[in-house]
Amino acid sequence: LELGLKGQFADNTVQTNLALFYTKFSDLVRSQVIPFTDDVGNTSQETVNFNAGKSEVYGIEAEVVWLATENLRVDLTAAYTKHNYIEFLVDTNGDGVKEDLSGFTVPFSPEWQWSLGLTYDQQLGNGGLITWNTTMHYQSEVELSVFNSLYTQMESRYLWDANMTWRD
């Protein structure tokens, strides 16, 4: 389910996009490395994909684009996401007995993200153009492993990007 709102204001110099969402997953596919012994007794391991259970995700996303001047644009985005397992049953030992891991953190689902970007178009005397851009992005801590293994959590981080483009 998604509910959104898009609008333009202030003589079309401000554009807003807002979305509320809710998604429910069933037969959620996960991967697991399990040990096995072949016909001649050699032990090894293999990665098996399986339907592990169910999850739900909900949140809100917002985007604002402001044309502050003819040459300056400001972009702001923000997102809150909550992603939880409803059911997560896994045969962790390869013995056919499933454990309930529904309390684990869902990987690759940061709770908070935001960014702020500035873009400036500088007109050159010969008809050329230089576009200057810089963006700051934040992402909260995120889990990287399906099984929430030790040392698989990415700390919250800020990323800064800057670039310039010249057009003749």
Q: What is the pLDDT of residues 74-116, one digit of tens each?
A: 999 999 999 999 998 877 676 778 888 888 999 999 999 999 9
Alpha helices by DSSP H, 19-104: none
Instruction: Please check the confidence at residue 120 and state whether its pLDDT lies above 80.
Output: yes
Better pLDDT: 71 or 150: 71
CB 34 within 8 A of CB 46: yes
Confidence (pTM): 0.80
Select the more confidently predicted residue: 52 or 121. 121
State the pLDDT at residue 94: 67
What is the gyration radius of the CA atoms in the chain, in angstroms?
23
Q: What is the pLDDT of residue 10?
A: 95
